[in-house]
Amino acid sequence: MKVPFFRPSLTDAEVDEVVDTLRSGWLTTGPKVRRFEERFGEAVGAPHAVAVNSATAALHLALEALGLRAGEGVLVPTLTFAATAEVVRYFGAVPVLVDCEPGSLNLDLEDAERRLSAPAPPGDVVSRIVGLIPVHVGGVMMDVARVRDFAARHSLWIVEDAAHAFPAAWRAARGDGWTRCGEGTAAVTCFSFYANKTLTTGEGGMAVTSDAALADRMRLMSLHGLSKDAWGRYAGGSWDYQIVAPGFKYNLTDIAASLGLHQLARAEVLRKSREEIALGYEEAFADVAEIERPGVPENRVLSWHLYPIRLRLERLRVDRNRFIADLQEAGVGCSVHWRPLHMHAYYRETFGFRPADLPVAAREWPRLISLPLFPGMNAEERAHVVSCVRGLCARHAQTTT
């Protein structure tokens, strides 16, 4: 039996909508992108939503709209995907890497505080630190109030990398109302609709904001810096336009938005399905001493993009890589989120990082394994994952003498 790490959940509604788009003859940015933007903005409680062709593009546009300049520093967690930091490098600015909290693996604000006063490598090249890019790892939101307070105290803007965090929500305490990710939680919140994300358009992303000026700038720059976008130009708009800035080519297509509209309509059903599978894992692994489960934090609605377990290596006779190889041999696809950025060749060589510079991430990543978690995983597939993980733990357990 084979269980893939991920399988997208696509229905006839998505297929029919794509076919409808193809038959309409309107393949690029058009009415379906506009509708998708409106509905997505409503879904997260944001007045402005700009659809783009990736979350990376959304992050790039957000930093451009906020005026990031060469030599400035931006606080970025070391435990994240390449995109979060590379967009800072696009400007010749410097990602000031921050360690993670041992529990959630989200950015550690206390460590961020230390990096502000002594930006350990690469401190010498940073003129001043201007912003913060929190990542809600796996779809577990950071404490929004603490992030906001931290940013306000240090006059930093916040751009959220919410690639994992749709739909997700936070509240300060039981009894408080929920705040959705994107509902004023940052200057700009960036979502990903990459193939294996919780809502997919194949490739795609969305930047949401409650700031009309930021939205206007991002929209402008997402299509060559033209004063009118293609929709305006071709569908009743004027043939004439001005280039008002050297923009980018980041617009989403109506073909992609066709998928997004139906994925969005099913978003809560899909979230519940992932939640049920994750809670099943929680129960099935509760008595396995060789692994730590991610757990279910209070006062959060989790998107459940990932189910990352951590191996208790001191209780095992094999390392994580061998454990993954064995899982793969048994037909279970898995992944690791992530090798910390400071342990990648580019960041190591450019900024001289050593693993111990961000010790929590360096210590935790060799224990991490993300298990398959996707809507539509059937009972046999779940049972196979559970029995393989349990079986490997039993087989490789350190025998106590």
Ligand X SMILES: *Cc1c(COP(=O)(O)O)cnc(C)c1O
Binding site for ligand X (CB under 6 A): 54-56, 80-81, 83-84, 135, 161, 163-164, 192, 194, 205
Neighbours of 137 (CB within 10 A): 28
- 6 neighbors 229 (Cβ within 8 angstroms): no
Report the alpha-carbon angle 283-284-287, nearest 5. Answer: 85
Least Å distance, CB 395 to ligand X, is 32
Least Å distance, CB 331 to ligand X, is 25
Query: Residue 74 or residue 163: which is nearer to ligand X going by CB?
Result: 163
Least Å distance, CB 197 to ligand X, is 6
**Cα torsion angle, 355, 113, 181, 51, sign:** negative
- 186 neighbors 158 (Cβ within 8 angstroms): yes
Neighbours of 395 (CB within 10 A): 11
CA dist 236 and 228 (Å) reads 11
Which residues, 6+ apart, have CB-to-CB distance to 378 below 8 Å? none
Q: How many helices (H) and strands (E) would you count in the chain?
A: 14, 13
Least Å distance, CB 86 to ligand X, is 9
Establish whether the linkage from the previous residue to 246 is cis, with ω within 30° of 0.
no
Cα 306 to the center of its chain, rounded Å? 10
CA dist 380 and 371 (Å) reads 15
Query: Residue 106 or residue 192: which is nearer to ligand X going by CB?
Result: 192
Q: Which residue has the tokens 């979350």?
A: 55
Query: Residue 163 or residue 288: which is nearer to ligand X going by CB?
Result: 163
Query: Residue 260 or residue 285: which is nearer to ligand X going by CB?
Result: 260
Least Å distance, CB 123 to ligand X, is 25
Query: Residue 81 or residue 353: which is nearer to ligand X going by CB?
Result: 81
Nearest to 83 by CA among 95, 72, 99, 92: 95
Least Å distance, CB 354 to ligand X, is 24
DSSP H or E segment with residue 151: helix 144-153
Least Å distance, CB 192 to ligand X, is 3
DSSP H or E segment with residue 308: strand 307-311
Query: Residue 87 or residue 93: which is nearer to ligand X going by CB?
Result: 87
Nearest to 182 by CA among 131, 217, 141: 141
Query: Residue 84 or residue 106: which is nearer to ligand X going by CB?
Result: 84
Least Å distance, CB 343 to ligand X, is 16
Least Å distance, CB 229 to ligand X, is 20
Least Å distance, CB 25 to ligand X, is 27
Query: Residue 253 or residue 393: which is nearer to ligand X going by CB?
Result: 253
Q: Which residue has the tokens 């929004």?
A: 144
- 176 neighbors 298 (Cβ within 8 angstroms): no
DSSP letter assigned to residue 314: G
Q: Which residues pair with 368 in a beta bridge?
A: 310
Q: State the virtual CA torsion across 71, 77, 82, 86 in degrees, nearest 10.
A: -10
Query: Residue 187 or residue 392: which is nearer to ligand X going by CB?
Result: 187
Query: Residue 55 or residue 361: which is nearer to ligand X going by CB?
Result: 55
Least Å distance, CB 57 to ligand X, is 7
Query: Residue 51 or residue 151: which is nearer to ligand X going by CB?
Result: 51
Nearest to 281 by CA among 172, 208, 374: 374
